[in-house]
Structure 1
Amino acid sequence: MKKTKYNPIDLLVERLSENFAKVKDFDKLQESEEGKRLFDLIIKSSSEMENFQVLFLNYYIPSANKSIVDSWNQVSKSKYRHLLNISKDELKENLYETIRLGYVGLFHKYESYLKSLVNATNFLLKELNQENNLLSIEEYCKKEFKINIFKSHNCFDITKRINYISNAVKHNDGFHREEIHPDFLNPDTNKRIVVAKETFKSDIEKLKSHCQLLMSQIITIGFKQYFELDYETIKNSLKPELKESVETKQKLEEIIKNFDFFLSDFKK
């Protein structure tokens, strides 16, 4: 019996739909032209990261490995091989360079995703923010966390690591920067950064998981400032039965505490 093959695009759309389903009235939002464009934007950003992973792991890296084998065979069979002082390890630099460049592309994909996510969340909360004179995600992050949300990669271990390698490639020809990332213990600074394929693959998976968490965190940031409004303002928007409940205010305070814990990454 043949195994059912899953279409990765279908899985991506379903996963994103599950996340957005948690947002109240998102189904209504999708009925509008703006809502459809919004969902398309998130799908595009996420699918680009999926495609990036396939491109490097299934095509670029195997091609780099093949080039190493081909080059080594050529060196080994050359009638001038006694003049060629080249080791197999030196030929592997082509593979390591491919992986290092992968980190550059990976970080750019993350930056694009973050920008799309912030824009999408601002759109989702546009009406709520206007009604209550609330800040955009960017403005609130500057006020509450003292950070530029688009430069927040150092708040998270995985994005800090990816950015470190990316910057080393872009600004230091692949060599370690002056401030060594803690993941690289006592590296030989005279050699370029070396990352194994398995580690690169693991970092991509970690980044994808981080992006899923980040989606929830960014949306939470948007709602957090609403729940920090004066209680009477919030009370006016509650259902009658909740307005009269003595536990409502206590529950709201508990929600805010949970928000603070969930967003603790941004306070590092």
Structure 2
Amino acid sequence: MTHKTIANPPDNTIQAFATEFAKIPNYHRDMQDPDLKKVYTFISFRVTELYSVKKFIVEGFLPKTDELIRKTENEIRRSKYRDIIESLDYKVTDQRFETIRLGYVMMFHKYEVFVKDLFKIFDEVSPGFDETKEPLEQFCKRKLNFNPKEWHRFPAVHKVNFISNCTKHHDGYCRLNNPKHPKPIDFIAHSENRKIYMSTELFKQDIEFFLDISLKLLLSILGMANMLCSMENTADDTYESNGVIYPLHNDEAKKVTNEQNAKNWKKE
């Protein structure tokens, strides 16, 4: 008798990462480098964590909320104070929408911390990085005009951040936290006197799009930026040749050194 193998979600996630990383040129060679391995491992773990949070919300929190809503509705129907309760401006079903809004808060918070820690780990593995070198985050702002924490510049991130802020600071009402930034396009016509109501399907779509687009963009830009930043940070480094200290990127000095080395090789 053969047993059908049931797909294990964590295994699927790890295999998906392995497949994507395998597409990176020289990936298997890079994994021999402890610093690069540290970066890849960090990214894999934290991105998996982001998707896990979404899974817990959709498959755990929301079904449990629905269960409690049904239980509460039944209790109200049996209550001897039913007329009083029903006369109040209170809808038990609003708890579902509140839970969904809190889901946006959780997802954005996890993403925000991930971005912060990602900059740190890139700095940690950058060759020769110390407190005298420019951090990658500052380099991105100065050289590339790229600041991933300007959430409003990235539509998928902006929407999740906006709903998160409305939930935390305005009890779910559709109000700007920073008047300098526009509302996401989905909420331009939304009244500030109405709360934001999102369905489970919309939440899933928003988070999938948010994670897929923002992570690919973030990782591709930071990967390139880290290489450029490392090159610039080592521009003033020096090296020694025949007892003489030369700037690492002094082409003329390198030429002299190479010529001298060539002469030495001929003598040998």
TM-score using structure 2 length? 0.70
**2:58–2:204 CA contact under 8 A, matched in 1:** yes
Alignment of 1:103-142 (within 5 A): 103-122=104-123, 126-127=126-127, 136-142=135-141
The percentage of aligned residue pairs carrying the same residue is 27
Q: Which of 199, 211, 214 is matched with 2:202 structurally? A: 199
Deviations 1:59-118 (A, max 9, x none): 101111112111111122223323322589811111111111111110011112223433
Q: 1:136 to 1:110 in 2, by over 3 A?
A: same
Deviations 1:231-259 (A, max 9, x none): x98xx9xxxxxxxxxxxxxxxxxxxxxxx
Higher-helix-fraction structure: 1
| 1:58 maps to 2:64 | no
In structure 1, C-alpha distance between the alignment counterparts of 2:121 and 2:16, rounded to whole Å: 17
Give, as a single letter, the amino acid of the residue that structure 2 aligns with 1:201: K
Structure 1's consecutive aligned runs of 4 or more residues displaced over 6 angstroms after TM superposition are 225-229
Q: Which sits farther off after the overlay, 34-43 or 137-146?
A: 34-43
In structure 2, C-alpha distance between the alignment counterparts of 1:122 and 1:23, rounded to whole Å: 21
Give, as a single letter, the amino acid of the residue that structure 1 aligns with 2:147: N
| 1:5 maps to 2:3 | no
Q: Which residue of 2 aligns with 1:219?
A: 223
Q: 1:152 to 1:69 in 2, by over 3 A?
A: same
Superposition RMSD in Å: 3.5
Rg larger in 1 or in 2? 2
Q: What residue ranges of structure 2 are gaps of 5+ in the alignment? A: 236-249, 255-268
Give, as a single letter, the amino acid of the residue that structure 1 aligns with 2:76: V
**2:174–2:187 CA contact under 8 A, matched in 1:** no
In structure 1, C-alpha distance between the alignment counterparts of 2:87 and 2:6, rounded to whole Å: 44
Give, as a single letter, the amino acid of the residue that structure 2 aligns with 1:11: N
- Other structure's SS at 1:85 match: helix
Alignment of 1:90-239 (within 5 A): 90-122=91-123, 126-127=126-127, 136-149=135-148, 151-178=149-176, 179=179, 180-210=183-213, 211-223=215-227
In structure 1, C-alpha distance between the alignment counterparts of 2:134 and 2:21, rounded to whole Å: 22
Give, as a single letter, the amino acid of the residue that structure 1 aligns with 2:194: K
In structure 2, C-alpha distance between the alignment counterparts of 1:69 and 1:88, rounded to whole Å: 18
Deviations 1:116-165 (A, max 9, x none): 433454566x24x87xxx9653132111233434x132221110011111
Q: Per-residue deviation at 1:39?
A: 3.1
- Other structure's SS at 1:148 match: coil
Count of residues in Structure 1 that have an aligned counterpart in Structure 2:
228
In structure 2, C-alpha distance between the alignment counterparts of 1:65 and 1:88, rounded to whole Å: 20
TM-score using structure 1 length? 0.70
Q: What residue ranges of structure 1 are gaps of 5+ in the alignment? A: 237-268
Deviations 1:151-185 (A, max 9, x none): 13222111001111111122222222245433124
